């Protein structure tokens, strides 16, 4: 019995294939091969979820699901397991620290030069002209104002690489050449011009003709005059004495200098003739403005007659209306004057707006409102005023009713009374009388 059992187990082992190692026999999962790359790619959340779902789940104790812990695997299952388990792989060597640093440096992006292309063709031409004139790169770096701020080293390196200036326009070249610094020899010749004199352009033109080898070819008489004035301002001429700067407590601040200034010297000399002319002109302008303001209602009447648009007859302030064929006069005070307006005589109702008024007196009449609510018209002119066909002679008066016809020198008007407003006025007058 024992020999038969041993022979059967040997046959099963021969059918199962080669013998497995201790790790395979114990059912342990082989180690996962790690990547040899130095930088690993990070997995996103969705990749982590998919990889976790793809892995087969293992039960506790290393047993697969669907198989009992006490059952023994068959020979066919052993063959599948032997084929599925890969042979052990030796771990890859860890790269040296020096090699890792090289890899890091090689993967870093190449830095871009920040100041690349800052030099302009105009800067190149200005650099060449300034260096040829002064022969000193440090002086050029301190005195010339380029389009950007360059260091002395950049100026020295650029001195040998100025090729783009040949493509500049001649006008641009002339404008740049006018900014070239003055040399010491040029300033020496300019300093000999006296500070007390008033040199003209001819004086500096003679300097250019006498010393063509000293002055820059693009110099003009105007440029020399401006530079000479600048030298005179800073006391750089030969006949000027250098004024030392104050030191210590002698330094003046702005408030001290302001106190030293005499305000009387700053005032302009009074010109009485000019002041008189300005006063007369101001008076004339004010008179014209006053006349325009008085004629404003005349133009408003003409506009209303042409457009046909007019406001309602009565409002809360209109006591009565004197309506003509062309003009509508509003009575908003208890007493108004009628007549013909002139430059020297201003009245409330200008009858000349209605038609020909040369026969009307300058003050033809007065319309008054009594406390009892009655309107009266008084004639103060030479010609009579007709009320509903009845003449009212000069110096007399007559009562005006609603819809009364007023005729003055062939001009007819209708007198309309605001009954509502007059009723309120009468009621207030009655209250005051009772009190």
Q: Is the pLDDT of residue 29 over 50?
A: yes
Q: Which of 235, 236, 136 is nearest to 183 (CA)?
A: 136
Residue 28 lies in a domain: no
Domain shared by 228 and 328, yes or no: no
What is the chain's percent helix, strand, coil content, to nearest 5? Answer: 45, 10, 45
Number of domains into which the chain is organized? 3
Average pLDDT over residues 40-65: 53
Which one of 233, 256, 271 terminates a domain?
A: 233
106 or 271, higher pLDDT: 271
Q: Which of 177, 206, 221 is the last residue of a domain?
A: 177
Cα distances from 47 to residues 42, 50, 127, 328, 405, in angstroms, run 10, 5, 62, 94, 106
Q: Domain boundary residue among 144, 177, 210?
A: 177
Based on the domain organization, do 130 and 219 belong to the same domain?
Answer: no
Contact by Cβ (8 Å): 140, 189 = no
Q: Is residue 156 part of a domain?
A: yes
Same domain, yes or no, for 322 and 229?
no
Residues 209, 156 share a domain: no
- 157 and 138, same structural domain? yes
29 in any annotated domain: no
- The pLDDT of residue 45: 59
State residue 429's pLDDT score. Answer: 80
Does residue 102 form part of some domain?
Answer: no
Q: Annotate 129-142 with DSSP letters as a single string.
A: HHHHHH--HHHHHH
The pLDDT confidence band at residue 435, using thresholds 50, 70 and 90, is: confident
Cα–Cα distances (Å) from 86 to 19, 23, 209, 390, in that order, read 14, 12, 101, 140
One domain, residues 334 and 410: yes
- Based on the fold, state whether residues 223 and 336 are members of the same structural domain: no
pLDDT of 291: 82
Asked if residues 406 and 377 have their Cβ atoms less than 8 Å apart, the reply is yes
Residues 159 and 224 placed together within one structural domain of the fold: no
Is residue 353 assigned to a domain? yes
For residue 315, the SS3 value is coil
pLDDT-derived band at 249 (thresholds 50, 70, 90) equals: low
Contact between 180 and 152 under an 8 Å Cβ cutoff? The reply is no
Q: In terms of domains, do 321 and 384 share one?
A: yes
The verdict on residue 31 lying in a domain is no
Q: Looking at residues 3-21, what average pLDDT do you find?
A: 46
Domain-located, residue 331: yes
- The 10s digit of each residue's pLDDT in 172-194 is 888 888 888 999 999 999 998 98
Share of the chain above pLDDT 90, in %: 17
Q: Domain for residue 284, yes or no?
A: no
Mean pLDDT along residues 46-73: 49
Instruction: Supply the range of the domain harboring residue 128.
Output: 121-177
Model-wide pTM > 0.75: no
- Looking at the chain, the whole-number percentage of residues with pLDDT higher than 70 is 65
Q: Given a cut of 80, is residue 281 above it in pLDDT? A: yes
| One domain for residues 205 and 171 | no
Domain match, 196 and 164 both: no
Whether 62 has a pLDDT exceeding 50, the answer reads no
Domain co-membership, 172 together with 194: no
């Amino acid at each position: 019995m024992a020999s038969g059992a041993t022979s059967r187990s040997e046959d099963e082992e021969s059918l199962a294939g080669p013998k497995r190692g201790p790790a395979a026999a114990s059912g342990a999962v082989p180690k996962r091969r790690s990547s040899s790359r130095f930088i690993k790619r990070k997995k996103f959340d969705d990749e982590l979820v998919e990889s976790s779902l793809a892995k087969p789940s293992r039960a506790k104790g290393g047993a697969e699901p669907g198989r009992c812990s006490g059952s023994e695997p068959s020979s066919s299952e052993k063959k599948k397991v032997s084929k599925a388990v890969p042979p052990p792989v030796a771990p890859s060597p860890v790269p040296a620290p020096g090699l890792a640093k090289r890899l890091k440096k090689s993967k870093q992006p190449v830095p871009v030069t920040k100041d690349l292309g800052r030099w302009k063709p105009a800067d190149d031409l200005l650099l060449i002209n300034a260096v040829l004139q002064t022969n000193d790169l440090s002086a050029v770096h301190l005195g010339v104002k380029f389009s950007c701020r360059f260091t002395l080293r950049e100026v020295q390196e650029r001195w040998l690489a100025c090729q783009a200036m040949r493509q500049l326009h001649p006008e641009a070249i002339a404008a740049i050449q006018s900014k070239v610094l003055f040399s010491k020899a040029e300033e020496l010749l300019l300093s000999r011009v006296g500070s007390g004199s008033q040199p003209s352009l001819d004086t500096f033109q003679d300097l250019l003709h006498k010393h063509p080898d000293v002055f820059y070819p693009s110099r003009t008489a105007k440029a020399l005059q401006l530079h000479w004035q600048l030298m005179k301002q800073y006391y750089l001429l030969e006949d000027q004495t250098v004024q030392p700067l104050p030191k210590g407590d002698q330094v003046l601040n702005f408030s001290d200098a302001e106190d030293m200034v005499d305000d009387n010297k700053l005032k302009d000399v009074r010109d009485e003739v000019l002041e008189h002319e300005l006063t007369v002109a101001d008076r004339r302008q004010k008179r014209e403005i006053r006349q325009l303001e008085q004629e404003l209602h005349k133009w408003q009447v003409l506009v209303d007659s042409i457009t046909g648009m007019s406001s309602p007859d009565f409002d809360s302030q209109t006591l009565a209306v004197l309506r003509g064929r062309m003009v509508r006069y509003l009575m908003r005070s208890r007493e108004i004057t009628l007549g013909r307006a002139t430059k020297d005589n201003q009245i409330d109702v200008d009858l000349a707006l209605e038609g020909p008024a040369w026969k009307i007196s300058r003050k033809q009449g007065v319309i008054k409102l009594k406390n009892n609510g009655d309107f009266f018209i008084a004639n103060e002119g030479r010609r009579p005023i007709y009320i509903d066909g009845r003449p009212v002679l000069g110096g007399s008066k007559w009562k005006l009713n609603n819809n009364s016809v007023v005729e003055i020198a062939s001009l007819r008007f209708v007198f309309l009374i605001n009954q509502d407003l007059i009723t309120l006025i009468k009621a207030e007058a009655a209250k005051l009388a009772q009190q």
